[in-house]
Chains A and B, each alone.
Chain A
Amino acid sequence: MAGPRIALFIPCFVEALAPATAGNLRRLCDRLALDWYQPREQTCCGQPSFNAGFWREAARCAAKFLTDFADADAVVAPSASCVAMVRRYVELAALSSEQRAAAIEIGRRTHEICSYLVDVLRIVDVGASYHGAVAYHDACHALRGLGIREQPRALLRHVRGLDLRELPGGPQCCGFGGTFSVKYPEISASMADARLAALEATGTATLVSTDLSCLQHLGGRAERRGQPFIGFHVVDLLAAQGPV
């Protein structure tokens, strides 16, 4: 294959909680005949420590990431927040100046999957089919961190049989925020409730997003509320080839 060699960056919580999404990403890449590989040494990008204020610890993860992904033409991940983290490595004072220079280079080559497909490869129809209605949730790090708004919607609109709905009230934070949801669980749950009410108003129980962390959080809250909820990563639906 003549195209770029793509390293798949599978965030650790995707690996832990939704390995099927990682599998779907590989299937999707195969179907699009992309030249991909998955660096076996990869672990965590360091975002949890960075957001919690432990930047030295985050820098250790960052240094490892920069080594693990040094050779890739492009790094592609099914998570906007992890990509946003990689693009901020340059802010970590604990990294050496060589590492920070590498961080700028790798940050430029690292993409969230929807943005990579639409903005870099110029693909909007991946040949997927899924029968059903889904609502799209803008993850904050996708929307504001990476400026991803239309890309996943464009891809989803081209999935045959898929009925894409918008959440009323526009983009709103789901209330996860990593360490925030642990330190302020009540405020976080109240934010989730607002999103779940918006989902309910769309008439579908299926929510799709670029970030599984939002969906896991909302799904957990929906379970406590007794509200039907199915969370899909965009990639799950782009890989789908169900009957229409």
Chain B
Amino acid sequence: MRQDIRDRSRDLLRDDKLQDNLRRALGHTLDRRAALVAENPGWAELRDRARDLRDESLRRLPELRAQVERQVRGRGGGFHFCRDAAEARARVIEILDRAGAVEVVKGKSMVSEEIALNAALEARGIAVFEGDLGELIVQLRGERPAHITAPALHLDRRQIAALFRRALGQDVDDDPVRLAAAARRFLRPHFLGADAGITGANFVVAESGSVVLVENESNIRLATTLPRLHIAITGIEKLVPRLADLAPLLALLPVSATGQKASAAVSILGGPRPSGEDDGPREFHLVLVDNGRQALISDPILRPALRCIRCGACLNVCPVFQRIGGHGYGAIYPGPIGVVLARALLGRSDGAHAFACSLCGACDEICPVQVPLSRLILEVRRRAQQDAGVTAERMAHAAFAEMAQWPRLFKMALAASRAAIRWWPRWFSTSLTGGWTDLRAWPRPRRDGELRRRTGSGAT
């Protein structure tokens, strides 16, 4: 099994600045979320409705896909279904080429990260500008997002100010308002001059063929209205049957994602500008990407992962994510939900990600659509061990299971281990268990005399 997450975690844990940034950013979000959930007596019921809705969508996906295709085409938009990342990249490039587009502004989109769209566009000579502040920051740093909804949460404003001075040549201090103004000064000409806007989609409504986008910075509004071409690219699982379904989903999403009751803007976009009207792009395309999703839907156990609405709450609450951030995982989908998505959509099968989890279950509790995350993580572990075949670890567990069939032998082994642990020297246990005993003493049989003295009991 690859040890890359462990290697990175050592450096990340020693980075005091990063630890501080993660703690502060995630702590604020979780506190705000908790306060909003506490004041909403209908939260549990909302979660049930949202789960049922997402399951309905997954069940009816082929039908909803046909419906959205009719709707989008009926209004003069382009509809594209792409089986994998390569096909999706090629299709987007084809659309841009046909429109003669050489400059693109983007709204934040995890699917575009999943299919590595920016690199493909740049290789084609197309200039790409991320319009979301966090995404712009990681783009300027040459990094990938550290979180699915808060791409730059690993940085604080001083680091961002230094970046803007260096990369944008702007003389800014670390005041957040002035930092946002600096980003705006840099981006505004690109919003005005770009040939195309590329966004993701939080949801796609089948009955109306509309693309729903949730944001706080209104950069998506600019990217979808100013350029003459708008391409929305997202996973097929983001389909929902009805406009009314948005009510529970939009109530859960901002609370879970950022601890906001509502986001600053929700756009429900219907396609290209109708003739005789002044607003909207002249050309619109919806690109739905499969890239492993159909296989996941057919998977009886892992399927609920596709209920996910990408709020990132499971990342925020995960004690491992809180310590290593998204970059620690080395996958664009990190944290609990990333265990399934990285395997199913990014082809990461080594299981390293699935074992970077203490099975604490905090993710199960927070997920707004009730993805049974820790159950799915156990399943990915099981499959990873199955794929790994006969390993020393499997042999050890097989030997243990065999020994457990023989109570007398088992009890003797327990007694022997009790004695060994009590007496063996530290260098021996360290060499036996690697890093484990460097960082913590080997568990010792408790001194029963101590227990007796302190509690007046404990005799066995």
Binding site for B on A (CB under 8 A): 12, 15-24, 27, 40-44, 46, 48-55, 57-58, 60-61, 64, 129-130, 132, 140-141, 143-145, 172-173, 175-192, 216-217, 219-221, 223-224, 230-232, 236-237, 239-243
What 4 A-B pairs come out closest when comparing CB atoms?
A: A177-B358, A242-B456, A23-B460, A240-B455
The answer to whether B439 touches A17 (Cβ under 8 A) is no
Q: Name the contact of A49 in the complex, choosing from B13, B397, B406 (C-beta under 8 A).
A: B397
The answer to whether A46 touches B455 (Cβ under 8 A) is no
The answer to whether B404 touches A173 (Cβ under 8 A) is no
Q: In the bound complex, what is the Cα–Cα distance between A92 and B12 (angstroms)?
A: 37
Q: Name the contact of B436 in the complex, choosing from A50, A141, A172, A185 (C-beta under 8 A).
A: A185
The answer to whether A220 touches B440 (Cβ under 8 A) is yes
Q: Which of A21, A185, A216 has the most CB of B within 10 A?
A: A185
Q: In the bound complex, what is the Cα–Cα distance between A177 and B318 (angstroms)?
A: 13
Q: In the bound complex, what is the Cα–Cα distance between A19 and B414 (angstroms)?
A: 11
Residues A57 and B401 in contact in the complex (CB < 8 Å), given A180-B358, A185-B439, A217-B443: yes
The answer to whether B358 touches A182 (Cβ under 8 A) is no
Kindly supply a per-residue 1/0 record for chain B positions 405-422, scoring 1 wherever the CB is within 8 Å of any chain A CB and 0 otherwise.
111001100110110010
The answer to whether B13 touches A240 (Cβ under 8 A) is no
The answer to whether B400 touches A44 (Cβ under 8 A) is yes
Interface residues of B in 302-347 (CB under 8 A from A): 319-320, 323-324
The answer to whether A185 touches B438 (Cβ under 8 A) is yes
Interface residues of B in 370-418 (CB under 8 A from A): 378, 381-386, 393-394, 397-398, 400-407, 410-411, 414-415, 417-418
Q: In the bound complex, what is the Cα–Cα distance between A182 and B384 (angstroms)?
A: 17
Interface SS of chain A = helix
What's the tally of chain B residues with a CB closer than 8 Å to chain A?
73
Q: In the bound complex, what is the Cα–Cα distance between A179 and B382 (angstroms)?
A: 13
Nearest-neighbour CB distance to chain A for B320, whole angstroms, equals 6
Kindly supply a per-residue 1/0 record for chain B positions 431-460, scoring 1 wherever the CB is within 8 Å of any chain A CB and 0 otherwise.
001111111111111101011101111111
The answer to whether A187 touches B456 (Cβ under 8 A) is no
Q: In the bound complex, what is the Cα–Cα distance between A52 and B452 (angstroms)?
A: 36
* Nearest opposing residue in chain B for A170, CB measure: B34
Q: Name the contact of A54 in the complex, choosing from B397, B410, B455 (C-beta under 8 A).
A: B397
* Nearest opposing residue in chain A for B381, CB measure: A53
A181 neighbours in B (Cβ, 8 Å): 358, 436, 440
Question: B356 near A: Cβ within 8 Å?
Answer: yes
Q: In the bound complex, what is the Cα–Cα distance between A188 and B361 (angstroms)?
A: 15
Residues A144 and B10 in contact in the complex (CB < 8 Å), given A44-B404, A185-B435: no
The answer to whether A183 touches B445 (Cβ under 8 A) is no
B437 neighbours in A (Cβ, 8 Å): 220
Question: B351 near A: Cβ within 8 Å?
Answer: yes
The answer to whether B358 touches A27 (Cβ under 8 A) is no
The answer to whether A24 touches B444 (Cβ under 8 A) is no
The answer to whether B13 touches A60 (Cβ under 8 A) is no
The answer to whether B378 touches A219 (Cβ under 8 A) is no
Q: In the bound complex, what is the Cα–Cα distance between A42 and B408 (angstroms)?
A: 10
Q: In the bound complex, what is the Cα–Cα distance between A44 and B417 (angstroms)?
A: 15
Kindly supply a per-residue 1/0 record for chain B positions 33-73, scoring 1 wherever the CB is within 8 Å of any chain A CB and 0 otherwise.
00000000000000000000000000000000000000000
Nearest-neighbour CB distance to chain B for A77, whole angstroms, equals 16
Q: In the bound complex, what is the Cα–Cα distance between A179 and B384 (angstroms)?
A: 14
Q: In the bound complex, what is the Cα–Cα distance between A189 and B437 (angstroms)?
A: 10
Q: Name the contact of A20 in the complex, choosing from B398, B443, B446 (C-beta under 8 A).
A: B446
* Nearest opposing residue in chain B for A218, CB measure: B440
B356 neighbours in A (Cβ, 8 Å): 180, 183-184, 187
Q: In the bound complex, what is the Cα–Cα distance between A184 and B6 (angstroms)?
A: 6
The answer to whether B378 touches A187 (Cβ under 8 A) is no
The answer to whether B440 touches A145 (Cβ under 8 A) is no
* Nearest opposing residue in chain A for B458, CB measure: A20
Residues A236 and B455 in contact in the complex (CB < 8 Å), given A53-B381, A54-B385: yes
A-B contacts, 5 listed (Cβ < 8 Å): A17-B446, A20-B448, A43-B406, A184-B320, A220-B444
Question: B222 near A: Cβ within 8 Å?
Answer: no
The answer to whether B9 touches A60 (Cβ under 8 A) is no
* Nearest opposing residue in chain B for A19, CB measure: B460
The answer to whether B445 touches A177 (Cβ under 8 A) is no
The answer to whether A186 touches B9 (Cβ under 8 A) is yes
The answer to whether A183 touches B6 (Cβ under 8 A) is yes
Kindly supply a per-residue 1/0 record for chain B positions 272-313, scoring 1 wherever the CB is within 8 Å of any chain A CB and 0 otherwise.
000000000000000000000000000000000000000000
B247 neighbours in A (Cβ, 8 Å): none
A216 neighbours in B (Cβ, 8 Å): 443
Q: Name the contact of B405 in the complex, choosing from A64, A144, A190, A232 (C-beta under 8 A).
A: A64
B460 neighbours in A (Cβ, 8 Å): 19-20, 22-23
Q: Which of A40, A57, A184, A230 has the most CB of B within 10 A?
A: A184
